Amino acid sequence: MYNKITLQKGGLMKFESQLLKGIAPVVVLEILSRGQMYGYELSQAIEQRSGDILTLGKGTLYPLLYNLEAQKLVKGKWEQMPSGRKRRYYTITSKGKEHLARQKEQLQELTAGLGVVFGFGGALKPA
């Protein structure tokens, strides 16, 4: 069974949160690279697409999105719903895509390196 790893500040799994400090933005960018989403939708998508392994802490979600917006990696836009409500959708920018590509490459190299170290043949395997 995989342990649920929560991507949030001051989370219970402190060791993991330090380890995963740089992961959350990459995860968010990856999810957004597949299509625009609003905040709630994004947090649901992270859980579902990681097989419930990763959970983006709610207290982390919006600060993270705004930081990504400040770095011009994502762009936020209000959109009117048919119901009359308005939602803020986030879209990855071209700069965000480039950044994502670089980060993924680095992660792959890291994974490969760790795999060699731990003798997993280039991939991490569960305990």
Partner 1 sequence: MSNKELNKPLQNLPACAVEYINLVIKKMRYRKKVRIEVMAELAAHFEDELRDCKTDEEKEQKAQKLIEQFGDAKLLGTLLRRAKKRCRPLWRTVLVRTFQAVSVFLIIYLIWFSSGRPVITVDYVAELNKLARPTADESLNAAPLYQKAAELLERHLKSSDKILDLIVSKKYEDANSEQKQLVEKWLTDNKEILDLVVAGTQKPYYWESYKGESIYEVPLPNLSRFRTLAYSLRWRIRLSAEQGWYENAFDDIKNSYRFGRHIRKGDKLLIEQLVGIAIEALSVQTLRSILGEYQIDSSKLTQLQKDFEQIITDENFAISFKAEKLCRYDWLQRCYTEGGPGGGHPYSLAFRKMVEINQGINAKKTWFADYCKNLGTAISFLLGLSPGRTETLKSVNDLYDFFDSEFALKTPVQVQAQKTEIDKRVKQLTGRNFLIRLTVPAFEKVFEISSRLKTDVEGTLTIIALLRYRQDKGRYPQNLDELKQAGYIKEIPIDAFSDKPLVYKKTDDNFILYSVGLNFKDDGGRLVKMWSDEGDAVFWPVKKN
The answer to whether residues 31 and 42 touch, using CB atoms and an 8 Å cutoff, is: yes
CB < 8 Å & 24+ apart, contacts of 106-115: 107/26
Using the minimum distance from each CB to partner 1, give the nearer residue, 27 or 37: 37
Distance in Å, CB of 77 to partner 1, minimum: 11
Residues ≥6 apart with Cβ < 8 Å to 120: 114
Q: Which residues of the chain form contacts with partner 1 (CB under 8 A)?
A: 8-10, 38-41, 57-59, 62-67, 69-71, 78, 85-88
Distance in Å, CB of 20 to partner 1, minimum: 17
Using the minimum distance from each CB to partner 1, give the nearer residue, 27 or 64: 64
